[in-house]
Chain A
Amino acid sequence: MTDGRTLRRILTAFGILVAAWLVVPTLIVVPISFSGQDSFAFPPSSWGLQHYVTFFTEASWLNALLVSLQLAVIVTVVATVLGTAAAFALARTSLPGAGAVNGLFLAPLIVPGIVVAIAVYATFLNWGLIGTPTGFVLAHTVLALPFVVVNVGASLRGFDRTLERAAASLGASSWATFRQVTLPVIRPGVASGALFAFVTSFDEVVVSLFIQSPQLQTLPVRMFTSVTNEVDPTIAAASTVVLVVSTVLLGLTGLTRRSKSRA
């Protein structure tokens, strides 16, 4: 059995190495964000919170953060509702060409982002949606939809429809059944779909670059312009904030799932 143990140790070490390789470069921004100097020097020679102060007080950064948060919330709601409805339609009806429709829903995942961005840009120019909140919501919802459709669809495929028959036999109308039985059972799928939708919108940069205006910038766009036009370590603070938001959200879904299986 020593052979097995050695092998397991090697595998564990290898796993840690890969994890470090994936995570450490990202984490570099965290110490830099707490640097006391106006530089990207790593490791920082002094410590301070000045980059965070700049990030949360300077209008261009703070506005971009608020825009991104609001946008992500709206996109999450719209994409979750539409995506859940679409997943139901795909899973529950035998439409001719359901496979093709399913493929179309996944298209934003597969088509290169730059192609989507150019297409969206051309269309929005015609429609006068460049730099408008509606334009951002529309574009991000399209990008977020596949995640909701895929996650909810997977939950629905694993859902035992006998439960709905049982609910009906017990006196629950279709709506009551959906609210009290179907939705609670597939909730983990809906929740992870919603989370992915939020993160997709919150992190999206390519399409946003094309449809932004000086008045309406998302945080990733602001970060992108910061990197290309300025030398400003505030971006390290911005990156850390984005990192924390994404990680906390992921951790939250993990937590809700665990408490569910324990309850």
Chain B
Amino acid sequence: MPDRTDGASIRVESLTKTFREGTAPAVDAIDLDVRSGEFMTLLGPSGSGKTTTLNMVAGFEEVTSGRILLDGDDIARLPPYRRNLGMVFQSYALFPHMTAAENIAFPLRQRKVSKAEIARRVHETLDLVQLGGHGDRLPSQLSGGQQQRVALARAVVFSPRALLLDEPLGALDKKLRETLQLQIARLHSELGITFVFVTHDQEEALALSDRIAVFRDGRIEQVGTPFELYEAPVSRFVATFLGDSNIFAGTVRDGLLDTGGATLHCQGPDGRGALVVRPERMTLHGDDRDRPAGANQLGAEVTDVVYQGAFRRVLVRFDDGTPGLVRDSSSDVSVAVGDRVRVSWPAATGVVVPDDAAADSSDATVGDGVAA
């Protein structure tokens, strides 16, 4: 097994990448602090700059301006082979002419490690990714999941102080993705090194990360723990990109949001704003009689019901015209398309964010939050 080392801290300062002069920068003066040993995920839709950022940290893209500090040393001008960072690619990038063991030995051979030591570490690392006995296979003789495990082993066998992962599970089917997610999480805790993980899959990000940086148009919209991002998004973009949201846009005054058709309790500064309420915080009521005190409530018409086993996704149109989604896990209330219902939620569960309507399209509001 690769030696356990302290993970490196990676600090990115006003990092900018402009591919062609006169065009908008792909990465626009971002700052990011990845702590030693942290699992940091760069999350965003395609074209948001997350992969370009990772490529600059790895050294594959030249930095237009800004600094990349690895434990305080600026590595922005260092060639990739001198950075000592492990990297895992979506396409595995295994050397097709080498066996699994030779692939894993490759970084050790570059470092002139002795033959006996190489054999020992390759063996241990193969065991670490549960591929003991597969060392003499060529990549073409391994399944996608096995190939990615060889790639993981190859990227950590030389005890790098940080591991960069570029959508490593993107090419795998759902079942395999979940298995490998667990394996990546286990590697992270066993090796203790810093992980920087790029993905556009919000579920993956929520499941794996210590912290997530949400990218949008070359900038970082918000950095925080999965809990912070989910419970306290700072913008409509973050609210809609991570998980499902109901969004009521309007004007806030003295703790009341006027949507133009309804008045809702909320906590936020006066002015234009959007109230974000998660679908699982909402409760469906079949009639007017049982209504919790101190809660927001709105009439709505059911537009669609999707049964998902443990819960139902009930799509509604609120009386003020806002489209909405309720995740209902009780089956007390029977609902069908066209039914009139009432929806309530505790006033404290909503979050008011700036009303940046351009941040989402109407279907993203009730979509599953994953930008294709």
Contact = CB atoms under 8 A, between A and B. Distances in A.
Interface string B69-81: 0000000000111
Q: Is the interface of B mostly helix, strand, loop or mixed?
A: loop
Interface string A249-263: 000000000001001
B122 to A, nearest CB: 13
B133 interface: no
Given A162-B89, A180-B106, A171 B81 contact: yes
Contacts of A163: 93, 95-96
Interface in A168-197: 168-173, 176-177, 180-181, 184-185
A186 to B, nearest CB: 10
25 contacts: A162-B89, A163-B95, A163-B96, A165-B93, A166-B89, A166-B151, A167-B95, A169-B58, A169-B81, A170-B87, A170-B107, A170-B155, A170-B158, A171-B81, A171-B84, A171-B107, A171-B158, A172-B81, A172-B106, A176-B81, A176-B110, A177-B81, A184-B97, A185-B95, A263-B138
A160 interface: yes
Q: Is the interface of A mostly helix, strand, loop or mixed?
A: helix
Interface residues of A, number: 20
A140 to B, nearest CB: 31
B265 interface: no
A167 B94 CA distance: 9
Contact of B96 (A168, A171, A185): A185
Given A171-B158, A180-B106, A166 B138 contact: no
Contacts of A166: 87, 89, 93-95, 151
A259 B103 CA distance: 20
A260 B97 CA distance: 8
B60 interface: yes
B79 A170 contact: no
Contacts of B83: 169
B51 to A, nearest CB: 12
A168 B95 CA distance: 12
B97 A165 contact: no
B86 A169 contact: yes
A181 B95 contact: yes
